[in-house]
């Protein structure tokens, strides 16, 4: 048994020597291995061959580069900071079912949480042109007996094809106040600043002075010397009748 085992091992050793080449030429190496050696030279260091019949190597990773530009460089011109004044009258002719008082508090007196949606007509400060409407809502914050109400207001002024201005802030029925200009559209895109609200006859006649920043020069037909606020101030007959020469293009109604 021992002699037969030794004979088998001896035969295996002799046959395995056939698998180990003593010298391999460059051309033979190219046939045995799927990769090339520099200058066709056989490597002098030892190689470990695995049973896999396919050799693969990772592909080189392509390097990527990125560049960032500052946001300010994307704009061709700086944002205007010049203050422009715009004067507007808001008139309630009692023909728009405005304002509507929604007593969410379910109390007989004005109380916290009551809502007041509204929309009125607006005119240029000289009362020569009808320009559009206001539209918004007020939330009652505080009722002061014998004095009036304080609201938090969110509303917009619509100027036909020119666009609109949005405002937000305190709306007091008994004294003037300032609201923030929160933005706009059309020529008013990017507008910021504040607007002064003057109560003339609440809630039928109000006067606004906008202090606008962040926009280009206002068109002349929205400007003009304003009429000083007073209870007897009224729109011109042509503007009230919306005659063609006394309105702006596609004025909002």
pLDDT, tens digit (0-9, with 9 covering 90-100), for 61-108: 565 555 545 444 444 567 778 999 999 999 999 999 999 999 999 999
Dist. CA 152–CA 112, nearest whole Å = 11
How is residue 99 annotated by DSSP? -
Q: Does residue 6 carry a pLDDT above 70?
A: no
Average confidence (pLDDT) over 184-197: 98
**Residue of 161, 116, 123 whose CA lies nearest to 140:** 116
DSSP 94-122: S-S-----B-TT--SS--TT-EEEE--EE
Dist. CA 88–CA 97, nearest whole Å = 21
How is residue 42 annotated by DSSP? P
pLDDT in tens, 128-181: 999 999 999 999 999 999 999 999 999 999 999 999 999 999 999 999 999 999
Q: What is the average pLDDT value for the chain, to the nearest integer?
A: 82
Lowest mean pLDDT among 105-109, 115-119, 185-189: 105-109
Lowest mean pLDDT among 27-36, 71-80, 139-148, 198-207: 27-36
First to last CA, the chain: 115
Show Cβ contacts of residue 92 under 8 Å, excluding neighbours closer than 6 positions.
Answer: 98, 99, 120, 121, 203, 204, 205
CB count in 10 Å sphere of residue 160: 18
**Residue of 87, 89, 88, 148 whose CA lies nearest to 116:** 148
Q: Does residue 201 carry a pLDDT above 70?
A: yes
Whether residue 82 contacts residue 113, with contact meaning beta carbons closer than 8 Å, is answered with no
Task: Please enumerate, as own/partner, the contacts of 99-103 that have beta carbons within 8 Å and a separation of 24 or more.
Answer: 99/138, 99/203
**24 pLDDT band (50/70/90 cuts)?**
very low
Query: What pLDDT does 8 receive?
Result: 47
SS3 content of the chain, % helix, strand, coil (to 5): 20, 30, 50
Average confidence (pLDDT) over 111-123: 97
Q: What is the pTM of this model?
A: 0.69
Strand 84-91 vs strand 205-213: parallel, antiparallel, or unpaired? antiparallel
Dist. CA 125–CA 226, nearest whole Å = 4
């Amino acid at each position: 048994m021992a002699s037969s085992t030794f004979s088998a091992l001896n035969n295996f050793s002799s046959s395995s020597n056939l698998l180990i080449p003593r010298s391999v030429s460059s051309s033979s190496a190219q046939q045995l291995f799927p990769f090339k050696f520099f200058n066709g030279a056989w490597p002098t260091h030892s190689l470990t061959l695995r049973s896999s019949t396919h050799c693969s190597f990772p592909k080189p990773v392509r390097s990527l580069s990125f560049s960032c530009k500052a946001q300010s460089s994307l704009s061709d011109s700086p944002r205007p900071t010049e203050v422009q004044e715009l004067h507007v009258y808001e008139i309630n002719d009692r023909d728009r079912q405005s304002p509507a008082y929604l007593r969410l508090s379910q109390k007989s007196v004005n109380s916290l949480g009551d809502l007041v949606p509204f929309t009125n007509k607006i005119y240029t400060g000289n009362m020569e042109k009808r320009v559009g409407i206001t539209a918004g809502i007020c939330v009652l914050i505080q009722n002061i007996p014998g004095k009036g109400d304080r609201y938090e207001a969110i509303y917009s002024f619509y100027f036909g094809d020119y666009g609109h201005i949005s405002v937000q802030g305190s709306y007091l029925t008994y004294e003037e106040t300032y609201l923030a200009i929160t933005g706009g559209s059309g020529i008013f895109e990017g507008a910021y600043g504040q607007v002064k609200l003057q109560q003339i006859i609440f809630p039928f006649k109000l006067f606004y002075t906008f202090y606008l920043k962040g926009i280009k020069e206002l068109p002349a037909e929205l400007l003009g010397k304003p009429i000083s606020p007073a209870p007897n101030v009224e729109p011109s007959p042509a503007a009230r009748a919306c005659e063609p020469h006394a309105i702006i293009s596609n004025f909002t109604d």
